[in-house]
Amino acid sequence: MNIKTLETFVWIARLGSFRATAKRLYASQPTISARIVSLEDELRTELFDRTGRKAVLTAKGRQLLVYAEKILQLHSELLETVARPDAIHGTIRLGVSETIAYTWLPRLIEKISEAYPAINLELDVDISLNLAGKLTSREIDIAFLIGEVNQPDFVSRPFCRYSLVWVASPSIALPEQPISLADLARIPIITYPRRSEPYANIRSLITPTNHPTQIHSSSSLSTIIRMTVDGLGVSALPREILTRELASGVLREFRVEASLPDLVFSTAYSASPGAGVVRAVAELALATVTEDNRIQAPTTGDHLY
């Protein structure tokens, strides 16, 4: 019995599937089978019922799960405590919403590589709704997303807030004074994808005007910015991702009578034990934000993508 085998066992218990575990642990499916067989041989007990679509724990398997999770928990605590940071290795799957990717993600990644040079990061940029789904299906280990993940077994903590500013190309004539919602509704709006919180906020903002406003949405922030710069519409975005465009004058800020709610981002990750490194990364993320005590623009003006 070794720790790798116990980890395999725990992941099968979590995912209900040998195949998914193989993918999760970057191994072939027969390898996963072999590990469990060896564990079952050693304990002379069947651990999973493989008939049926999902691998389901037997009674003995449930007993083992308790111990295995405790051992994995201790093991990862051990690594955090006694290992020198560069000895902590492995792959962490990071799910981030694009706004994060545009702002302080580069700094976070820098911090992570600095603190844990041997950790491999896998980035998955997606909208928050999908990130939450990927988190619960354990396709990613930790997410930085809009809103909170209100699932049992998941830790979710708000950690930064962006207020949105309305911007438009100078080619669109707009007054210095705040414009009314009715006026806003007559201009095409480019924003985050449908099924995202900002989209819903804008939708509910202009719905009362009863105007059939054109709303373009894109899952790519750089596309939103590009379209706005090209004068295809106006958009409401965090000021932090627009530093270059506002400085060079290709975009101009304008004001609207009604205000949009801020975007509140949280970090979320599985609360189940054995994910000490993930928790450490979450702490690092929080520290990265709080050390400046406020949100800053990325150190470089260049976008990530």
Partner DNA sequence: AGAGGTTACGGGCAGCGTAAGGATC
Partner DNA sequence: GATCCTTACGCTGCCCGTAACCTCT
Query: Residues interacting with a copy of itself, by CB under 8 A?
Result: 1-4, 42-45, 60, 63-64, 67-68, 70-71, 74-75, 77-79, 81-84, 86-87
Residues 249, 169 contacting (CB under 8 angstroms): no
Strand order in the sheet with 235-238: 235-238, 164-168, 252-254
CB atoms within 10 A of CB 240: 19
Query: Residue 53 touches which of DNA, a copy of itself, none (CB < 5 to 8 A by kind)?
Result: DNA
Q: Tell the smallest beta-carbon distance from residue 130 to DNA (Å).
A: 20
Q: Which is nearer to a copy of itself, 25 or 129 (CB)?
A: 25
Q: Whose structure tokens read 């940029």?
A: 125
By CB under 7 A, the residues from 4 to 63 that bind DNA are 4, 17-19, 26-31, 33-38, 50-55
Q: Tell the smallest beta-carbon distance from residue 158 to DNA (Å).
A: 35
Q: Is 143 helix (H, G, I), strand (E, B) or coil?
A: strand
Q: Tell the smallest beta-carbon distance from residue 116 to DNA (Å).
A: 21
Query: Residue 60 touches which of a copy of itself, DNA, none (CB < 5 to 8 A by kind)?
Result: a copy of itself
What six digits make up the tokens of 69? Answer: 């999770």
Query: Residue 42 touches which of DNA, a copy of itself, none (CB < 5 to 8 A by kind)?
Result: a copy of itself
Secondary structure element (H or E) that encloses residue 83, with its range: none
Query: Residue 78 touches which of a copy of itself, DNA, none (CB < 5 to 8 A by kind)?
Result: a copy of itself
* Chain-centre distance for alpha carbon 192: 16
Q: Which is nearer to DNA, 51 or 210 (CB)?
A: 51
Q: Which is nearer to a copy of itself, 77 or 148 (CB)?
A: 77
Query: Residue 3 touches which of DNA, a copy of itself, none (CB < 5 to 8 A by kind)?
Result: a copy of itself
Query: Residue 247 touches which of DNA, a copy of itself, none (CB < 5 to 8 A by kind)?
Result: none
Q: Tell the smallest beta-carbon distance from residue 6 to a copy of itself (Å).
A: 9
Rounded CA-CA distance 54/74 in Å is: 29
Q: What share of the chain is helix, strand, coil (3-state, %, to 5)?
A: 45, 20, 35
**What does 196-260 look like in DSSP terms, one character per residue?**
SHHHHHHHHHHGGGT----EEE-S-HHHHHHHHHTTS-BEEEEGGG-HHHHHHTSSEEE-BSS-P
Residues 62, 45 contacting (CB under 8 angstroms): no
Q: Which residues are at the interface with DNA (CB under 7 A)? A: 2, 4, 17-19, 26-31, 33-38, 50-55
